């Protein structure tokens, strides 16, 4: 179909103001967050109702037009980037105007919102109603809940509350043929066949367009405590994690590991931010606790606990947040690593997950083998050690040109992923597959798994219009 005719139809559905053709505006929808993937599209659509989404997708299904769902555009694997070509058009459907709050059920502890609601807004809505939504990540001020669900986002509270899929009670999804699947009942028990919502959680928009979600909320914690702790090495960190779990149990919601390279990067790139502990310590851990007992003094308990660990030489130093502002500063350090690293240097990033016991080994082996191939340069290791999810990155050596470095990306990626898989881990912990890891998915997965994934895709999206060329070809 001619471009002019496609434009005419799309405008009839969403209106001229919501069918973007301006190149400057479109350009903001064509690049992933890290700037590694550049796409093309003639149109970015901004529908505001599920009915308009349904009409758009039905039209694309009938006319063999690819559809790329896009939320806050914070993908780290290129899952949000359109790949329109002369052979096949791909259009972007943004969920930005699908941002209404449908309702809060405080007794059921559930919330129904449209998929374009920004994560931080959802947290605020829960708080305003005396409840708590635990999904939290560095991009929460811009990422949208539909994208969080589509990538099965992890974040900082997985240790206690689980991944995004554990927080979703129901979905409304526009399927590739334009039909609407809607299950928003907010039920905790429903054994009526397959749990269909799970097909769409983590599917990266390849099976449908999420329009509404029913989220599980929790009671607000009555008090918090947080500490930054310095340790000699990851082995000591794992020992400390075990002891922290033994003492605090379900009160422990985050246990974040950071090496000195990442902390020093924050110190250099955020000069107005005072590092709470000296950046010279080889490793630091952010411990975050929450408690539902108003009589329990969390700060006193963690102080006493850390004093014992100092006496036993398990930790080198520690500082405890005296108030919520200081606690937020600790988290600002942790979240600041990703942004600071992006500003300071070019690197190859890995999002891996291993059994907690294997964390020291995967760090040691990755650092050693990457240096053998690449030479001396900054090695970052940080992440959610409490649930086994690490972010490893090797920076470009100062003496190496950018082109040469980028040519080594495939080799270096395979090294880290092979180490990870050999240790019983996964090469994608929480960022998804997208474009970046398609080859890795095919290479490392059981052929039966790949067959099942492709069978599901073919059954739900027989014309391959939904986010084509993501996950697998």
- 346-422: CATH topology: Alpha-Beta Plaits (3.30.70)
**Rounded to an integer, what distance in angstroms lies between the CA atom of residue 119 and that of residue 148?**
8
CA angle 255, 261, 263 (to 5 degrees): 55
Entry pTM: 0.92
The two structure tokens encoding residue 37 = 């993937």
Radius of gyration of the chain (CA): 23
Cα distance from N-terminal residue to C-terminal residue, the chain: 24
Low-confidence ranges of the chain (pLDDT < 50): none
pLDDT digits (tens, 9 = 90+) for 59-103: 999 999 999 999 988 887 888 999 999 899 999 999 999 999 999
Q: What is the pLDDT of residue 38?
A: 87
- Closest by CA to 145, choosing from 171, 181, 179, 108, is 171
Domain spans of the chain, in order of start: 3-94, 101-219, 223-342, 346-422
Asked whether this chain's domains 223-342 and 346-422 adopt the same fold, the reply is yes
Answer whether CATH 3.40.50.1820 is correct for domain 3-94. Answer: no
**Rounded to an integer, what distance in angstroms lies between the CA atom of residue 218 and that of residue 441?**
35
Q: What is the pLDDT of residue 294?
A: 73
CATH classification code of 223-342: 3.30.70.2190
**Rounded to an integer, what distance in angstroms lies between the CA atom of residue 148 and that of residue 169?**
14
Q: What is the pLDDT of residue 138?
A: 84
pLDDT digits (tens, 9 = 90+) for 101-136: 999 999 999 999 999 999 999 999 999 999 999 999
The two structure tokens encoding residue 366 = 């990755």
CATH classification code of 101-219: 3.30.465.10
């Amino acid at each position: 179909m001619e471009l002019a005719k496609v434009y005419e139809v799309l405008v009839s559905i969403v209106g001229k103001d919501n069918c973007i053709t301006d190149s400057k505006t479109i350009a903001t929808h064509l690049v992933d967050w890290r700037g590694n993937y550049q796409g093309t599209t003639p149109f970015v659509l901004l529908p505001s109702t599920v009915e308009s989404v349904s009409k758009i997708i039905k039209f694309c299904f009938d006319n063999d037009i690819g559809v790329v769902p896009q939320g806050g555009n914070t993908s780290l694997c290129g899952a949000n980037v359109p790949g329109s070509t002369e052979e096949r058009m791909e259009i972007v459907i943004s969920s930005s105007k699908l941002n209404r709050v449908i309702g809060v059920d405080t007794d059921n502890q559930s919330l129904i919102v449209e998929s374009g609601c920004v994560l931080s807004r959802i947290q605020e809505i829960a708080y305003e109603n005396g409840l708590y939504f635990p999904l939290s990540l560095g991009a929460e001020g811009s990422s949208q809940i539909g994208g969080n669900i589509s990538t099965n986002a992890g974040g900082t509270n997985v240790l206690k509350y689980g991944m995004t899929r554990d927080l979703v009670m129901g979905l409304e999804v526009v399927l590739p043929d334009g039909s609407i699947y809607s299950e928003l009942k907010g039920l905790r028990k429903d054994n009526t066949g397959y749990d269909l919502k799970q097909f769409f959680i983590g599917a990266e928009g390849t099976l449908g367009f999420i329009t509404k979600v029913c989220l599980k909320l929790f009671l607000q914690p009555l008090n918090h405590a947080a500490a930054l702790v310095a340790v000699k090495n990851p082995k000591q960190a794992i020992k400390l994690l075990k002891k922290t779990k033994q003492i605090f149990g379900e009160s422990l919601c985050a246990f974040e590991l950071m090496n000195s390279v990442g902390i020093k990067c924050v110190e250099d790139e955020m000069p107005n931010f005072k590092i709470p502990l000296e950046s010279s310590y080889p490793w630091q851990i952010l411990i975050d606790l929450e408690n539902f007992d108003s009589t329990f003094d969390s700060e006193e308990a963690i102080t006493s606990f850390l004093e014992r660990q100092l006496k036993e030489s398990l930790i080198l130093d520690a500082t405890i947040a005296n108030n919520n502002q200081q606690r937020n500063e600790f988290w600002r350090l942790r979240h600041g690593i990703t942004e600071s690293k992006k500003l300071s240097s070019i690197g190859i990033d890995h999002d891996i997950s291993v059994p907690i016991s294997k964390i020291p080994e995967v760090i040691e082996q990755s650092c050693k083998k990457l240096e053998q191939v690449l030479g001396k340069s900054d090695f970052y290791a940080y992440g959610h050690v409490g649930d086994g999810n690490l972010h490893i990155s090797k920076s470009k050596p100062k003496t190496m040109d950018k082109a040469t470095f980028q040519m080594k990306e495939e080799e270096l990626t395979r090294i880290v992923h092979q180490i990870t898989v050999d240790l019983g881990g996964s090469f994608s912990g929480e960022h998804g597959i997208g474009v970046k890891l398609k080859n890795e998915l095919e290479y490392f997965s059981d052929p039966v798994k790949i067959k099942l994934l492709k069978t599901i895709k073919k059954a739900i999206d027989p014309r391959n219009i939904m986010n084509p060329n993501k996950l697998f070809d």
